[in-house]
């Protein structure tokens, strides 16, 4: 039942994505309201599906790759709806929702059979580890979207021939503030998640250096975000440099998902 409800949620997300892209092209306030409404309906359906999912499997749905990605989508949509209202950036959905929808579709295509977790994963700390990681990545989805919008808007200004995007995107100052706040939101979540993962790996696997591609790529992404945050705090990075760091960091996070699925390791991916 939970999978059927999740399918309806994805349909609502798809409608919200299409309407958000239409708003980017036409900038009609009515279209923006429809996009927001469809996204909210999708999020409510998604919430219901997660509750039912947890009841079906008898635990919080965050024990394998499919469950983690579904949680990521749920949190990312929540952050998008809040940020759109907080920063008054109705065009944000046009950049966030396509990424969210891609994650959601990938979760829907992964094996959905209910399986008992192996003994090494039967720990409350695993749920905390996964939840914090997904919160961090969800924030980085918005960080990526804000950085992409910043580069587009900066290019519009430098061209001195203001096109349609210039009038649809927020100011560079607003976008820089959005990317900074989402970076400072996501980084602590990812940091604590990695620390918990290291501590748990020591007790579960007996080694901190056990081969696990997903963990290694997660660490690489963390280093990139740490360098970006450090550059902003120490070297005064703003605008383009910070945007490039955010985009590279998010690209590595995407590779992390691909590596975790394709290469064998200690993490459970399906």
Average pLDDT, the chain: 84
Checking if the pLDDT of 19 tops 90, the result is yes
Residue 248 CA to chain centroid, in angstroms? 14
Task: Name the least confident of 157-166, 185-194, 240-249.
Answer: 157-166
Q: Can you give 63-82 as a three-state secondary structure string?
A: CCHHHHHHHHHHHHHHHHHH
Instruction: Give pLDDT, residue 210.
Output: 56
Domains of the chain (ranges plus CATH)?
1-112 (1.20.120), 124-270 (no CATH)
Rounded Cα gap, residues 147 and 246, in angstroms: 7
**Whats the size of the chain, residue-wise?**
270
Rounded Cα gap, residues 129 and 191, in angstroms: 10
* CA proximity to 137, closest of 186, 67, 201, 91: 186
Instruction: Give pLDDT, residue 10.
Output: 95
Checking if the pLDDT of 270 tops 50, the result is no
The arithmetic mean of pLDDT across residues 175-186, rounded, is: 93
Instruction: Give pLDDT, residue 62.
Output: 72
Task: Find the Cα–Cα–Cα–Cα dihedral 218, 224, 230, 233, rounded to 10°.
Answer: -100
Backbone angles phi, psi at 42, to 5 degrees: -60, -40
Backbone angles phi, psi at 235, to 5 degrees: -95, 0
Matching residue, tokens 């690209």: 251
Query: What pLDDT digit, counting tens, does each position of 214-227 carry?
Result: 778 888 999 999 99
Instruction: Give pLDDT, residue 128.
Output: 80
Cα separation of the two ends of the chain = 19
Instruction: Give pLDDT, residue 88.
Output: 84
């Amino acid at each position: 039942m939970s999978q059927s409800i999740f399918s309806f949620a994805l349909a609502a997300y798809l409608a919200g994505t299409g309407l958000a892209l239409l708003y980017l092209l036409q900038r009609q306030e009515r279209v923006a309201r429809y996009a927001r409404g469809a996204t909210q309906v999708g999020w409510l359906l998604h919430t219901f599906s997660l509750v039912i999912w947890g009841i079906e499997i008898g635990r919080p749905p965050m024990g394998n790759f499919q469950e983690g990605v579904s949680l990521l989508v749920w949190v990312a949509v929540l952050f998008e709806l809040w940020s759109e209202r907080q920063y008054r950036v109705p065009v944000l959905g046009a950049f966030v929702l396509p990424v969210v929808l891609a994650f959601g579709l990938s979760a829907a295509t992964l094996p959905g059979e209910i399986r008992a977790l192996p003994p090494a994963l039967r720990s409350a700390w695993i749920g905390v580890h996964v939840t914090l990681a997904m919160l961090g990545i969800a924030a980085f989805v918005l960080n990526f979207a804000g950085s992409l919008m910043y580069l587009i808007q900066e290019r519009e200004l430098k061209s001195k021939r203001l096109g349609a995007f210039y009038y649809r995107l927020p100011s560079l100052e607003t976008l820089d503030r959005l990317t900074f706040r989402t970076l400072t939101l996501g980084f602590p979540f990812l940091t604590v998640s990695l620390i918990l993962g290291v501590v748990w790996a020591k007790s579960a696997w007996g080694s901190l250096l056990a081969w696990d591609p997903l963990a290694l790529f997660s660490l690489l992404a963390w280093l990139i975000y740490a360098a970006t945050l450090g550059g902003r705090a120490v070297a005064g990075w703003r605008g383009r440099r910070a945007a490039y760091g955010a985009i590279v960091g998010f690209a590595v996070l995407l590779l992390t998902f691909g590596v975790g699925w394709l290469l064998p390791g200690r993490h459970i991916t399906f």
